[in-house]
């Protein structure tokens, strides 16, 4: 399951969960829409059950965007114990899987 998070919930979501995968998106972003079902599918896979999957609308949540240094969309970050392990603006499922591997 992927939770949609706002600036209001962002800091507690990051600090309350050991492993977090974040997808930053915007409504106008075509690549964001294309990768969304793949990100959701990954969130449901058994081997990623210890990871909290969240998505953040980068345009409506400037604090969360600034925290990760988002420059391009879609943008992904994997977080362990409140710290970014890796971040990338890649829109490829293979890259996301590689990043998730750093949390399992």
Active site residue 92: no
Q: Which of these is catalytic: 29, 64, 96, 100?
A: 29
Task: Count the Cβ atoms, other than its own, within 10 Å of residue 52.
Answer: 21
Among candidate residues 32, 35, 58, 68, the one labeled active-site is: 32
Instruction: Name residues whose C-beta falls within 8 Å of residue 43's C-beta, 6 or more positions apart in sequence.
Output: 1, 2, 21, 51, 53
- Residue 65 falls in the annotated catalytic set: no
- Under 8 Å CB-to-CB from 85, ≥6 apart: which residues? 78, 79, 99, 102, 103
Other beta carbons within 10 angstroms of residue 30's beta carbon come to: 10
Known catalytic residues are 29, 32
């Amino acid at each position: 399951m992927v939770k949609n998070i706002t600036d209001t919930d962002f800091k507690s979501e990051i600090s309350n969960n050991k492993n977090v995968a974040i997808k930053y998106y915007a409504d106008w972003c075509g690549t964001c829409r294309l990768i969304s079902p793949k990100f959701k599918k990954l969130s449901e896979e058994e081997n990623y059950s210890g990871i909290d999957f969240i998505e953040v609308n980068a345009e409506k949540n400037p604090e969360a965007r600034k925290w990760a240094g988002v420059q391009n969309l879609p943008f992904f970050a994997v977080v362990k114990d409140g710290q970014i392990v890796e971040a990338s603006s890649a829109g490829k499922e293979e890259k996301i899987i590689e990043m998730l591997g750093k949390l399992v």
